[in-house]
Structure 1
Amino acid sequence: MQKIILYISIALLTLVNTVCAQKKKPESFSVQIEKVGYQIEFLSYHKKLELKQKIDSLETLHKNNKISLQEFETLKLKEAEKTAKFIETNLNNYRTQIDTIIQNKLNDENTKIRHKTDTIDGKEVIKYYNDNDYVEYNVPALKFYKSKKEKEERLSRRTTSQVVFAAGYNNLVTNNMVANSQFGYGRSGFWEWGVTWNTRLSNNSNLLHLKYGAGFMYNSLHATDNRVFADINNQTVLVDAGVETKAKRTYFKNVYFVVPMHLEFDFSKTKIVDDKKVFKSHTGARFGIGGFVGVNTNSKQFIEYEQNGYKFKEKQKGDFNVNDFTYGVSTYIGYRATSLYLKYDLNPIFKNNPVDQNNISLGIRFDWN
């Protein structure tokens, strides 16, 4: 596994060096235009997301009777106009950059640069081209959700995406028990992050969803009684550290790249807008059950101690006979973005130990749309 990671790293470094070596080459007309296009797309996405958060906050204030409906509509329009003005100002700056790129192209070549403007999926599309070079440059049209209907439609897409973060307690199941563990219950923990996609499985019901994604999982174990892991005869066992370690700063950690998949039951309410069902996810109670598969990317042990008035920090990196792959089951139950989260590894953490020890985690999970 370590060799695979090494080969991938070498390949990535080679790619970076190749890109850097080519950096001095003059960029083509299409590349220059595309770069400006990416900047505009990022600006538009960022400001629209910011506007959405502000409007959602105002809507919450209105629902809690902190502001009236008229105040809500007035403040919403004010925020929309402010965002539109900001984007329009920056779009003018970007269009100036494009004009400069085009002028430079005309100076370098005796070629006529043509352009055509069209509207595709609510976006203004400007196509620049000549006989030898062609690029499509997208100027996104800013869309404000002025009506409740438009907002409901945005929130009821069949597939939505979420940023996921989870954290909590971690330990090992030995002989089918977590009791009398050799690892501190309060100190041993886990956290994970990633992205997921949530797809509604039925056209006419909001109950069943398929939730899938990718991310990284970090599991740490803090051994009790001043012990650390050691590789003895291809078995990973706990031994006395030989020095007085700092319990909170001495631990063993595994990192995994994982692909989770869950069947999610979403009890969010279905609304009727203009005689049409509108389904929204993550607005009510949710329950998910499924599992995950993953690959171990690295295993490390951190040891910290103090001796003769000096502080020592030691980091040990190796395979520690940890299984290269992991797979398990997981479930969560909660309301809106927050849920209680439980996961259990079906395969043991170590390869050759006579007694199987399986990782188990319990914590809080956040799924942010």
Structure 2
Amino acid sequence: MTKITLYLAVAISLLAVKVSAQNDLTFEVKVKLIANKIDAITKEEKAALKIELEEVNKELEAGTISKAQADDKKLQLAEVRSKNIETRIGQAQEELKDLVKQKVDGKLKESKNQYFSIVIKRDSIRKVRGESRTTSQFVFAAGVNNLVTDGAVAGSDYRYWGSHFYEWGVTSNTRLFKSDNLLHLKYGVSVMYNNLRPTDGRYFVANGNQTDLEYSSVNLKDSRFRNVYVTAPVHLEFDFTKTKTNAEGKKLFRTHESVRFGIGGYAGFRVKSKQITKFSDNGHDVTIKEKGGFNTNDFIYGVSTYIGYGETSLYLKYDLNPLFKDNALKQNNISLGVRFDLN
């Protein structure tokens, strides 16, 4: 295929997508557009945070602030950027929820140009992507969350289905060998939300350097403890997507089209901890939100793995360090759920 032909194919594809965008975009394409928006928000806030952290480092080098002050300032900046991301992503998530509702209600039209726009896109634009050794994905994961105590989750003090986690982020996926598509290095940045809901109307109380579960003096309707982290996950990924060949006999190394298996880990820092309790008082619903450290570890590191087909996989992650710093009983967070890697 000549360059002129390729450019023409891409131009036709973009024109087709633009035309169909008026009213006839498919559900899948609209989801991709929202994912791209979330990706752009994350990159923008991350770039802004990087600049701010560099300014703090300059202050530290100049001696205008101490090391402890610099660390505190960095944590505050990271928390602000995390809140910005959470707010802006929340708006995009509402768009996604509305889109899913429209899909369920059958209000989305089938694209009249579906064959033209999508097939042209797959046969032209994806060929260009298939020639690149590094691709990027938006990652979203959600599932159940709990603590491992004495090597087991059985008999947990936390609700199995009420305790949950979710994670979102962006990753780069680099093919390790020039002419083989099996091994990839997957790396990026993620925001993790780990939630715990204690059983029997209990909640967390910080007693000195110990954090204990205690029974509430009022009948709690809900008790939830949330920890938010910014992490850098790294995985070695085995992708069994078959190599394809274009009309010119050139190999195209596509990803996320067959069985995939990843193994690796993550490391990062805690952005915030929050406990939410709900109860009734004289006929009034009361919600109390407590922010604080609760003696949790400021840093997090662990191992994770996933296996699946295409863009969907089963996902497991386990923290190697305990949730609380100095508790006599060491408890490590574990999460199991579904993960989506969207190209």
TM-score grouping bracket, smaller chain normalisation: 0.5 to 0.7
**Partner in structure 2 of residue 242 of structure 1:** 217
Hey, what's the Cα distance between the residues in 2 that align with 1:246 and 1:313? 10
Matched-pair contact (CA < 8 Å) for 1:156–1:281 = no
Aligned residue for 1:7? 73
1:265 is aligned to 238
Q: Is the 8 A contact 2:173 2:187 kept in 1?
A: yes
Q: What's the CA shift for 1:166?
A: 0.5
Check if 1:190 corresponds to 2:165.
yes
Kept in 1, the 8 Å contact 2:129–2:135? The answer is: no
CA distance in 2, matches of 1:336, 1:11: 37
Structure 2 match to 1:110: none
Whether contact under 8 Å (2:75, 2:271) holds in the other structure is no
Name the SS of the counterpart of 1:207 in structure 2: strand
Q: Deviations over 1:246-265 (max 9, x none)?
A: 13xx2000000000000000
d(CA) in 1 for partners of 2:133 and 2:282?
Answer: 64
Matching residue's letter, 1:356: K
In structure 2, the CA distance between the partners of 1:317 and 1:222, relative to structure 1 (3 Å rule), is same
Measured at CA, do residues 2 and 317 of structure 1 come closer, stay the same or move farther in structure 2, by a change above 3 Å? farther
The superposition leaves residues 41-78 of structure 1 with CA deviations (integer Å, 9 ceiling, x where unpaired) of: xxxxxxxxxxxxxxxxxxxx9xxxxx9xxx977x34xx
Q: Deviations over 1:192-242 (max 9, x none)?
A: 111000000001100000000002100000000100001113101100111
Tell me the amino acid that sits aligned with residue 344 of structure 1: Y
1:8 is displaced (CA, Å) by 4.3
Look up the equivalent residue of 2:144 and give its one-letter code: Y
- Deviation, 1:155, is 3.1
Query: Which position in structure 2 is the counterpart of 1:279?
Result: 253
Distance 1:321 1:212, change over 3 A: same
Counterpart in 1 of 2:227?
A: 254
Q: Which residue of the partner structure matches residue 133 of structure 1?
A: none
Q: How far apart, CA to CA, are the structure 1 residues paired with 2:186 and 2:270?
A: 22
Aligned to 2:288: 314
Structure 1 residues 244 and 284, CA gap change in structure 2 (3 angstroms) = same
Residue 262 of structure 2 is matched in structure 1 by 288
Q: Distance in 1 between matches of 2:122 and 2:218?
A: 67
Structure 1 residues 308 and 268, CA gap change in structure 2 (3 angstroms): same
Report the CA distance shift for 1:3/1:246 in structure 2 as closer, same or farther (over 3 A): farther
Amino acid at match of 2:294: F
1: distance between equivalents of 2:254 and 2:128? 9
Counterpart CA distance in 1 for 2:122 and 2:186 is 30
Could you say if the C-alpha distance between residues 176 and 4 of structure 1 is closer, same or farther in structure 2, counting changes exceeding 3 Å? farther
CA distance in 2, matches of 1:291, 1:337: 19
Pair 353,146 (structure 1): closer, same or farther in 2 beyond 3 Å:
closer
Mapping 1:67-86, distance limit 5 Å = 75-76=116-117
- Report the Cα offset of residue 5 of structure 1: 7.5
With over 3 angstroms needed to count, the CA separation of the structure-2 counterparts of 1:153 and 1:356, relative to structure 1, is same
Q: Tell me the distance in 2 between the aligned counterparts of 1:359 and 1:344.
A: 6
Change (3 A) 1:235 1:271: same
1-structure distance, mates of 2:276, 2:181: 47
Distance 1:11 1:236 in 2: 27
Q: Give the Cα separation in 2 of the matches to 1:152 and 1:285.
A: 20
**Alpha-carbon contact 1:256-1:295 (below 8 Å) kept:** yes
TM-score by length of 2: 0.66
How far 1:156 moved relative to its partner?
3.6
Deviation at 1:267, TM superposition (A): 0.4
Q: 1:210 aligns with which of 176, 185, 188?
A: 185
User: Contact conserved, 2:304 with 2:317, CA < 8 A, in 1?
Assistant: yes
Q: Which residue of 1 aligns with 2:302?
A: 328
One-letter amino acid of the counterpart of residue 353, structure 1: N
- Tell me the equivalent position of 2:322: 348
User: In the superposition, relative to structure 1, how do residues 158 and 360 fare at CA in structure 2: closer, same or farther (>3 Å)?
Assistant: same
> Is 2:129–2:254's contact at 8 Å kept on the other side of the alignment?
no
Residue in structure 2 matched with residue 168 of structure 1 by the alignment: 143
- Structure 1 length-normalised TM: 0.62
Larger Rg: 1
Could you say what the CA RMSD is over the residues aligned between the two structures, in angstroms? 2.7
Cα displacement (A) at 1:284: 1.1
The structure-2 alpha-carbon separation of the partners of 1:361 and 1:162, relative to structure 1 and needing over 3 Å to count, comes to same
- Preserved contact between residue 162 and residue 368 of structure 1 (Cα < 8 Å): yes
Asked if the contact 2:305–2:315 (Cα under 8 Å) also holds between the matched residues in 1, the reply is yes
Task: Return the offset for 1:319.
Answer: 0.6
Identity of aligned residues (%): 52
